[in-house]
Amino acid sequence: MNPKTAGRYVSPKAVRWLWTLAVLGGAAFVVGAALQPQRLWPNLLLVGFLSVGFGLGGLLLIAFHDLTGARWSSAFGCIREGMAATLPWAALAMAVILVAGLCSYPWSRTGALTEETAWFKRWWLEPGFFTARLVAYLAIWAVFAAAMVRASRRATALGGPTRAGARLSAAFLVVFSLTFWLASSDWIMSLQPDWYSTAFGVYNFSGVLLAAQAAVTLLTVALRAAGPLKNAVGRDQLHDLGTLLLSFSCFWMYIWFCQYMLIWYTNMPEETSHYASRVRGLWAPLFYANIVINWAIPFAVLLPRAAKTNAGTLVKISLLLLAGRWLDVYLMILPSINADASLIGFCEIGSMALAVGALGLLFLPALRKSLRLSPLG
Amino acid sequence: MTRRVLIAVFQQDSDLLRAVAAVRAAGWKIDDVYAPYAVHGLDRALGWRPSRLSWVCAACGLAGAAFMLWFQQWTSAVSWPLNVGGKPWNSLPAFVPIIFEGMVLAAGLGTVLALFLVARLRPGKKTLPIVPGVFDDRFALVIEETDATFDAAAVSELLRNHHAVEIEERVWEADSCSTGAAGGAAGSRSRRRLNYLLLLVLIVLVAANMLVPRNQAQPNREFLPDMAHSPAYTSESANPNFADGETLQPPVLGTLAQGQRRLPYAATDADALLAGQELHNPLPAGQAGVRERGAVVFQNFCTPCHGGGGLGDGPVALRGYPAPPSLVTGNSTKMPDGQLFHIITYGRANMPPQAGLLSPEDRWAVILHIRSLQTPNTSIPAGTKP
């Protein structure tokens, strides 16, 4: 593609719009934090985790594309690359948020871990070790993001997958499955240090995957309408995107239920505590809405073939699923910290708008670069 | 009746797709297309309406899920209620995995069966590939030579332009549409040879198994011995973890079974009198089956001590255990139902409590039977020894 025409598809209007969103969101967040300072850090953790997940989702989809030898999704490689390219910056922000918020974790107070198995948790959650680990996870992901985005762009320029790219992808999947499992346990599960679930890592993985697929679907439809992918994405590709959206939604529900049912069946106090605080009071409507938004509605809507090939339906379901991912993580974090306040106010909306604006502003230059390097035109 | 067809063979799916479009545009009739895998966009190129198999799949899946939901509710809450971990009998979360599996099984099998029915396929049906290689790497396009205007040369010309590697005209009998020329004979011969070989192997293995002497006294080798010999304590085995050294522990004080109601009485004579004033038999004496039930309960649980007629001359009492007072004369006839219920529930003197053995309904039923023993003119149900 001609470098001059590439920029045309990413209009200055979009950039201005994203800046406005980020600035307004930031302002709302400051107001919210002044009103309710106890909601400041949980919301930062929430958007930090979601932003890192956005980049990791891009990397995951690059890896799947490379390793399955897929051709159908080659056309929107630029979207995966753009998502993954935001990861180093999101990782940096997440590192700052976590280090600054170390004292907000309940286990950082002495005497918080009283149960018999606490010797391991005390050792594992030692602040120095915790910090070293989080830096390691984020650094590893940032390095993978840089390398895999470059390999993916090279593959697009060469017109096919490269062996080096496939090797990198395979290595990433192995490293990711270990580090992400540990990271989600470290950062989110330890907010309730007496509770544990061995399914927590894969549960978060299913959420990241679902949100990434929703983001790719949304951006594909948007870029198809805006221009760059107009001729490259047809009805069959939309059908495949819709099918994957449906199946990842079912996968999320499957894993959600795996975790829930074992805890419900075993009925052990140290395990049920997690759900006990979420199925009661003001959290209960959100708890059930989570299932409806992330699975029931997408499943019912996307089941017919016609819906999976309809761009408008795909956009609506993708937006719903992105909101659902936010709600899912919100329900993981907030009830563990503020057990009695389920309100969605300035803090929540502001932090999310800020994150969407910032991620968009990081995404667009990377997308532009990918488009410039690709033979699409 | 015979049909004349023209078969073109391609090596690329993209060539096939273009040829299909060109043939349709020229107005010739396509009979069928054979491909080793589902070619993206082929059904649209052929102008076929979308497959209705997905509807069959959805219907079968829903039916499977509904059946499994009903079946589990029926078995665990209606037919054979079983307390599992203190959960309610009708516990939806516990049913979900089976509902899910039932849905997948019914949807999968139903779709395959529907496909077989529609395609008139069945296991063991003899078919030959229409052209060799159509199961591996070749694509066959079959065009029907409908009428006299069909110009085989023109069609061949068009197909060759789309890189057809072979073109062949064939005459089909009406009922052998998809049967191709000979060519599968060699394959079926080698398959038959393989079957004979496998049969021989089976015979040798069975014979060897019979020839090896077996010591019946020796137990078989156990794989995964944990499955047979559980490391868990059984209810009667010794257990060092409890102070009294036994696995079976009495329930925690105040534990109630499901559906059981706590009685506000203590095991004292004073409370027995109180129960006599406050409790009344909820079972109507005239209701069919109630007194029969009481007779059965009396026969099984009371006769060993109280005797068949309630005189206190049961086999246990005759062998030296302190005899209970007569149920049909004296004090027992004056006691109200509630007091008898208290005595059956909590025991009295040498009589142990029966609460753990008899449900409240059975206790009330047996009281009705005792009343009928006390008034001899009431007929005693047949089949019970007086």
If you ran DSSP here, which 8-state letter would residue B264 be given? S
Backbone angles phi and psi of B36, in degrees to 5:
-75, -15
- Per DSSP, the three-state class of B3 is strand
In sequence order, which residues have a C-beta less than 8 Å from that of residue B33 and are 6 or more positions away?
Answer: B16, B20, B42, B46, B139, B140, B141, B142
Q: Which tokens is A4 given?
A: 């001059």
Query: Who among B40, B85, B97 is closest to A236 (CB)?
Result: B40
Q: Is pLDDT of B181 > 70?
A: no
Query: What would the mean pLDDT of B165-180 be, rounded to a whole number?
Result: 68
Interface of A with B in 287-306 (CB under 8 A): 303, 305
Q: Which tokens is B249 given?
A: 């522990």
Question: Which range, A168-172, A281-285, B192-196, is most confident?
Answer: A168-172
Q: What whole-number distance in Å separates Cα of residue A329 and Cα of residue A46?
A: 7
**Is residue A47 within 8 Å of residue A356, measured between CB atoms?**
no
CB within 8 Å: B93 and A303: no
The predicted pLDDT at position A218 comes to 95
In sequence order, which residues have a C-beta less than 8 Å from that of residue A54 and are 6 or more positions away?
Answer: A83, A86, A87, A90, A211, A212, A215, A359
Chain A residues in contact with B40 by the CB 8 A cut-off are: 236
CB within 8 Å: A305 and B58: no
Chain A residues in contact with B55 by the CB 8 A cut-off are: none
Among B249, B13, B45, residue whose Cα is nearest residue B137: B13
**Residue A360: pLDDT band with limits 50, 70, 90:** very high
Q: What is the pLDDT of residues B325-343, one digit of tens each?
A: 899 888 888 899 999 999 9
Query: What would the mean pLDDT of B119-139 be, rounded to a whole number?
Result: 83
Distance from CA of B108 to the nearest CA of A (A): 16
**Is residue A92 within 8 Å of residue A111, measured between CB atoms?**
no
Q: Which tokens is B142 given?
A: 């079959």
Q: What whole-number distance in Å separates Cα of residue B366 and Cα of residue A188?
A: 61
A264 inside 8 A of chain B by CB:
yes
**Is residue A294 within 8 Å of residue A210, measured between CB atoms?**
yes
Q: What is the pLDDT of residues A185-208, one digit of tens each?
A: 999 999 988 888 999 999 999 999
**Residue B123: pLDDT band with limits 50, 70, 90:** confident
Q: How many CA atoms lie within 13 A of A320 on its CB side?
A: 22
What type of residue sits at position A131? T
CB within 8 Å: B93 and A264: yes
**Residue B1: pLDDT band with limits 50, 70, 90:** low
Q: What is the pLDDT of residues A328-354, one digit of tens each?
A: 999 999 888 876 666 778 888 999 999
Chain B residues in contact with A257 by the CB 8 A cut-off are: 96
Q: What whole-number distance in Å separates Cα of residue A121 and Cα of residue A123?
A: 5
CB within 8 Å: B87 and A265: yes
CB within 8 Å: A303 and B86: no
**Is residue B52 within 8 Å of residue B114, measured between CB atoms?**
no
Q: Write down the domain spans for chain B.
A: 2-173, 269-374
The predicted pLDDT at position B163 comes to 87
Q: What whole-number distance in Å separates Cα of residue A74 and Cα of residue A63?
A: 12
**Residue B187: pLDDT band with limits 50, 70, 90:** low
Query: Who among A236, A261, A303 is closest to B96 (CB)?
Result: A261
**What value does the mean pLDDT of chain B take?**
85
Q: Can you tell me which residue has the tokens 């006599």?
A: B276
Query: Who among A236, A257, A305 is closest to B41 (CB)?
Result: A236
Q: What is the pLDDT of residues A273-296, one digit of tens each?
A: 889 888 888 889 999 999 999 999
CB within 8 Å: B85 and A303: no
Q: Which residues pair with B139 in a beta bridge?
A: B10
The predicted pLDDT at position A271 comes to 85
Q: Which tokens is B108 given?
A: 């999968």
- What is the sign, positive or negative, of the torsion defined by CA atoms of B115, B56, B73, A273? positive
Distance from CA of A308 to the nearest CA of B (A): 14
Q: What whole-number distance in Å separates Cα of residue A150 and Cα of residue B182?
A: 55
Q: Is pLDDT of A6 > 50?
A: no
The predicted pLDDT at position B178 comes to 47
**Is residue A201 within 8 Å of residue A176, measured between CB atoms?**
no
The model's pTM is: 0.71
Q: What whole-number distance in Å separates Cα of residue B144 and Cα of residue B130?
A: 14
Query: Who among B85, B86, B96 is closest to A257 (CB)?
Result: B96
The predicted pLDDT at position A117 comes to 59
CB within 8 Å: B50 and A305: yes
**Is residue B62 within 8 Å of residue B36, measured between CB atoms?**
no
Q: What whole-number distance in Å separates Cα of residue B102 and Cα of residue B68?
A: 6
The predicted pLDDT at position B174 comes to 58
The predicted pLDDT at position A115 comes to 62
CB within 8 Å: B94 and A261: yes
A236 inside 8 A of chain B by CB:
yes
> Containing H/E element for B278?
helix B269-278
The predicted pLDDT at position B185 comes to 54
Q: What whole-number distance in Å separates Cα of residue B209 and Cα of residue B205?
A: 6
A265 inside 8 A of chain B by CB:
yes
Chain A residues in contact with B97 by the CB 8 A cut-off are: 261
Among A284, A271, A292, A260, residue whose Cα is nearest residue A340: A284
Check if the interface score ipTM surpasses 0.95.
Answer: no
Chain B residues in contact with A300 by the CB 8 A cut-off are: none
Q: What is the crossing angle of helices A200-226 and A235-266, to 10°?
A: 160
Q: Which tokens is B339 given?
A: 């007091």
Distance from CA of A140 to the nearest CA of B (A): 38
CB-based burial label for B132 (10 Å; 0-12, 13-18, 19+): middle
CB within 8 Å: B86 and A267: yes
Q: Is pLDDT of B2 > 80?
A: no
Question: Which range, A53-62, A368-377, B87-96, is most confident?
Answer: A53-62
- Per DSSP, the three-state class of B178 is coil
The predicted pLDDT at position A9 comes to 55
Distance from CA of A303 to the nearest CA of B (A): 9
Q: What is the pLDDT of residues B59-112, one digit of tens each?
A: 999 999 999 999 999 999 888 887 777 788 888 999 999 999 999 999 999 999
Interface residues of chain B, partner chain A, Cβ below 8 Å: 40-41, 50, 54, 58, 85-87, 93-94, 96-97
CB within 8 Å: A261 and B93: yes
Distance from CA of B95 to the nearest CA of A (A): 10
A115 inside 8 A of chain B by CB:
no
Q: Which residues pair with B140 in a beta bridge?
A: B9, B34
- What is the sign, positive or negative, of the torsion defined by CA atoms of B154, B156, B160, B163? positive
Q: What is the pLDDT of residues A133-169, one digit of tens each?
A: 999 999 999 999 999 999 999 888 887 778 888 999 9
A279 inside 8 A of chain B by CB:
no
Q: Which tokens is B68 given?
A: 């499994």
Catalogue the long-range contacts made by A116-121 (C-beta closer than 8 Å, 24 or more residues apart).
A121/A193
Give the whole-number percent of chain A exceeding pLDDT 90. Answer: 60
CATH superfamily of B269-374: Cytochrome c-like domain (1.10.760.10)
The predicted pLDDT at position B201 comes to 97
